[in-house]
Structure 1
Amino acid sequence: MIVSRGLPALRALQKLKVNNTQVTQIIRNSHIWSYRVAPPPASKRIQLLAELVQGFAWWWVLWHLWTEPGHILGEFEYPDASKWTDEELGIES
C-alpha cells in the first residue's frame, strides 16, 4: 500500500526536477486583468452609481438607528442598580 501511495508522489517530484522554462499565459476574456500595474480607472457612471449605493446604504443605517434604536440599545430601560437588594446582587450578610 505504501508503494502504491508513493508512486504518484515520485512522479510529481520527477516532473518538478525537469527545468521547464516555458511559461504559458492564461487568457481571460471575461474581464480586465492587470498584474503588477494599477487597474484602469472606473468610468464616471460606475463611480456615480457606487456613490449613490453607498449614500443609500448609510442613509438606511442612520435612519434606522434614529427611528428604531431598540435594535441596538435594547427594548427595555436599563435597571437602576441602587434599588436592588443584597440578595439580588448575590451579597450574603
Structure 2
Amino acid sequence: MLLSRGATALRALRCLSKNKGQLQQTVRHGHTAWAYRKGTAPPTKTLFMIADFTQGVMWWWILWHLWTEPDHILGEFAWPDSRKWTDEELGIPETLELDE
C-alpha cells in the first residue's frame, strides 16, 4: 500500500517539476471589487429598494396565506377531545390495589 502511494506521489512530483512555469496564479475577474483588508463598497440605494420590495412581497405572501389558509399550519382535521380518551388509550397502566 505504501509503495502504491509512493509511486503516485513520485509521479505527481515529476509532473510538477515539468510544469514550473505554468503554476502561476491567473488574474480572476469577479463580479465585485477586490477588498483585501478593507470593507467592501456600500450597497447602492437601488439595491436597498429592491431588497425592501422583495421582503415586503415575501411577508405579504406569508401573512396572506396564514390568514386565508390556516390549515397549512393548524392541520385540516378537528383536534380530538383528549378528555374523552381512556387510560388504556393514553398508555396509563392500571392501578394495583394492595392488600392490607
The residue number in structure 2 matching 1:21 is: none
Cα deviation 1:32-90 (Å, max 9, x = unaligned): 23233211011111110111001100111111111111111111121111112334333
> When the two structures are superposed, what TM-score results if normalisation uses the length of structure 1?
0.68
| Identical-pair percentage | 52
Unaligned 5+ runs, structure 2: 17-23, 95-100
**CA displacement at 1:6 relative to structure 2:** 2.0
Partners of 1:5 and 1:59 in 2: CA distance: 59
> When the two structures are superposed, what TM-score results if normalisation uses the length of structure 2?
0.64
Cα distance change of structure 1 residues 39 and 92 upon mapping to structure 2, 3 Å threshold = same
Give the 3-state SS of the residue equivalent to 2:77 in structure 1: coil
The farther-off stretch of 51-60 and 25-34 is 25-34
Partners of 2:26 and 2:66 in 1: CA distance: 48
Partners of 2:60 and 2:84 in 1: CA distance: 40
Unaligned 5+ runs, structure 1: 16-23
The farther-off stretch of 50-59 and 82-91 is 82-91
**CA displacement at 1:27 relative to structure 2:** 2.9
Cα distance change of structure 1 residues 2 and 86 upon mapping to structure 2, 3 Å threshold = closer
Partners of 1:58 and 1:72 in 2: CA distance: 16
Larger radius of gyration: 2
Cα distance change of structure 1 residues 92 and 29 upon mapping to structure 2, 3 Å threshold = closer
Are 2:31 and 1:31 equivalent residues in the alignment? yes
The number of aligned residues is 83
